Amino acid sequence: MIIHKAYGFALNGSKFHVLRIHIVMVGNSQPLYGRGLLGANFSTTEIRERIREQEGDRLYHGSLRLGENDYKLAGIIAMYENGETRNYTADIIKLSDSVKVGNISVITRNHDGVKIGEGSLTMNGGNQSSVFRVLLNIDDG
């Protein structure tokens, strides 16, 4: 299930990069458990609730594209309010050698009927790090 699909910019002084983020929640429920509930004449709502209870902790997978570079998001922590993603943080991992090269933190909110995200992105390279301001337009899928 897609929980967050966003595009926007990472700004650092007079420099900016196009930014795209994609985060999905991966269910960890067992298919046989769901089939058993279907055979027990539960309503769709009851089945959904029981599967959510059985799933336990939520697992997330994500990717980030900064300019022309692709990265994996790991250690994703998403916080919810009223069933909607409110904010999230994640480590940024280099695809080629699985090394952590940064992190991102985003707070989401509604603004004039549009869901937006604001936050910060830090990229580490060599002996220096760059901090970017993040501005996103969010599509919750």
Is 3.30.70 the CATH classification of the domain at 2-27+60-139? no
What percentage of the chain reaches a pLDDT higher than 90? 51
pTM for the full model?
Answer: 0.76
Distance CA 21, CA 64 (A): 5
Euclidean distance between the first and the last CA atom of the chain, given in angstroms as a whole number: 8
Q: What is the pLDDT of residues 5-59, one digit of tens each?
A: 999 999 999 999 999 999 988 765 555 555 666 667 777 777 767 766 665 567 8
